[in-house]
């Protein structure tokens, strides 16, 4: 009896230890790599703008309707506003808020990410309220909220069925020259947000990105567009759950003013806004 009790105790200890080890490995797989502060711009070109997004487009830029509920507003964000946005992100990059989010399968991600409004990462979604350092993400600057709402309203003048949205999450991705994103859907938001088709709004700054999208996971059947600096891509309604990916970044395609006057590196920023 004593031997059986010892065996059962040993098995229990092994099981608990094994379970803990599995949880630990899972935690390590999901963890963000801790990265050092870095700069989005060359230091000798650094200039401080007066404010964030002081201006908005005086008239609607050219646009392309891509799908029902999906539209591309071309060159929508002015150079002035792009510089203001870069400066806002630069403050947090130099404070160490950007991290690499590695994939569940252990693959290393070249893209760096930070969030305004809510904490989010591609592996755990919105489950963790706090960042890995214990801090909460900073609030979305109200100027950015106003810019996004203006873009949605302009898009609604063209797409009558596009729902309104109030962004409470902004995911900022920093793409180096060799950066890309795998095919995915933006579906971590609440069931109510997804059911209503509240749109995703993405602002591109810097180098041009090759963007693939469609209603299938088959790469050969995906459609392709190019996202240039200042473009705003909106997809909601029937297109809210499209599959999409960033295939590659094209170097030396940034607006001259961002590189020569402000010193932006030859990389890309994207700011993606959603309502949880």
User: What are the binding residues?
Assistant: 184, 186, 244
CB 91 within 8 A of CB 40: no
Residue 11 DSSP one-character state: H
Which element (helix H / strand E) includes 232? strand 232-235
Sequence-distant (≥ 6) Cβ neighbours of residue 27 within 8 angstroms? none
Q: Using CA atoms, how far apart are residues 116 and 128, in angstroms rounded to an integer?
A: 14
- For tokens 């609607």, name the residue: 60
Query: What are the C-alpha distances in Å from 125 to residues 30, 151, 170?
Result: 11, 26, 13
- Secondary structure class of 273 (helix, strand, coil): strand
CB 71 within 8 A of CB 234: yes
Q: Using CA atoms, how far apart are residues 186 and 240, in angstroms rounded to an integer?
A: 8
- Helical ranges in the chain per DSSP H: 2-30, 79-93, 142-156, 191-196, 256
Query: What are the C-alpha distances in Å from 134 to residues 9, 33, 71, 130?
Result: 37, 14, 38, 5
- What are residue 274's phi and psi, to 5 degrees? -140, 165
Residue ranges of the annotated binding site for Fe cation are 184, 186, 244
């Amino acid at each position: 009896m004593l031997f059986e009790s010892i065996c059962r105790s040993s098995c229990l200890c092994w099981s608990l230890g094994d379970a803990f080890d599995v949880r630990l490995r899972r935690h390590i797989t999901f963890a963000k790599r801790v990265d050092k502060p870095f700069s989005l711009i060359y230091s000798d070109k650094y200039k401080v703008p007066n404010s964030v997004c002081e201006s908005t487009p005086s008239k609607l830029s050219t646009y392309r309707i891509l799908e029902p509920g999906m539209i591309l507003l071309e060159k929508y964000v002015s150079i002035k506003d792009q510089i203001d946005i870069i400066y806002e992100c630069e403050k947090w990059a130099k404070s160490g808020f950007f991290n690499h989010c590695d994939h569940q399968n252990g693959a290393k991600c070249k893209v760096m990410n930070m969030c305004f409004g809510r904490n989010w990462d591609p592996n755990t979604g919105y489950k963790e309220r706090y960042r890995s350092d214990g801090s909460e993400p900073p609030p979305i600057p109200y100027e950015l909220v106003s810019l996004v709402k203006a873009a949605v309203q302009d898009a609604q003048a063209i797409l009558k069925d596009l729902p309104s949205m109030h962004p409470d999450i902004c995911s900022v991705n920093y793409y180096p020259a060799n950066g890309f994103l795998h095919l995915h859907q933006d579906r971590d938001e609440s069931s109510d947000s997804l059911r209503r088709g509240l749109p995703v709004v993405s602002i591109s700054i810097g180098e041009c990105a090759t963007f693939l999208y469609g209603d299938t996971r088959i790469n050969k059947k995906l459609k392709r567009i190019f996202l240039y600096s200042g473009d705003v891509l909106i997809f909601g309604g029937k297109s809210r759950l499209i599959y999409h990916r960033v295939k590659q970044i094209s170097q030396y395609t940034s607006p001259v003013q961002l590189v020569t006057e402000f010193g932006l590196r030859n990389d890309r920023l994207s700011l993606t806004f959603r309502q949880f």
